Amino acid sequence: MNEFCENQSCENSACGETPLLVDNREHATILAALRFHQAENLQGTGIIQDLTIRDIASNLGHLKTLNSEEIDQLCERINIATEGAYSRRWCCPDCHCTVTCSYDDLAEAGAPYCSDCDSEMLMI
pLDDT band, residue 7 (cuts 50/70/90): very low
Kindly state whether residues 64 and 28 are assigned to the same domain: yes
28 and 78 co-located in one domain: yes
Crossing angle of helices 24-41 and 68-83, in 10° steps, is: 170
Q: What pLDDT is attached to residue 8? A: 46
Length of the chain: 124
Q: Are residues 50 and 76 in the same domain?
A: yes
Same domain, 26 and 59: yes
User: Exposed, middle or buried by CB within 10 Å (0-12, 13-18, 19+), for 57?
Assistant: middle
Domain housing 47: 22-85
Number of folded domains in the chain? Answer: 2
In a shared domain, residues 90 and 52: no
Q: pLDDT class for 4, splitting at 50, 70, 90? A: very low
pTM for this entry:
0.55
Pair 107, 76: CB distance under 8 Å: no
Domain-located, residue 53: yes
pLDDT (tens digit per residue) in 16-67: 677 777 778 888 899 999 999 999 999 888 889 999 999 999 999 999 999 9
H-helix segments, the chain: 24-41, 51-57, 68-83, 103-106
Residue 17 lies in a domain: no
Q: What type of residue sits at position 115?
A: S
pLDDT category of residue 109 using cuts at 50, 70 and 90 = low
| Three-class DSSP category at 101 | strand
CB atoms within 10 A of CB 92: 20
89 CB burial (10 A radius; 0-12, 13-18, 19+) = middle
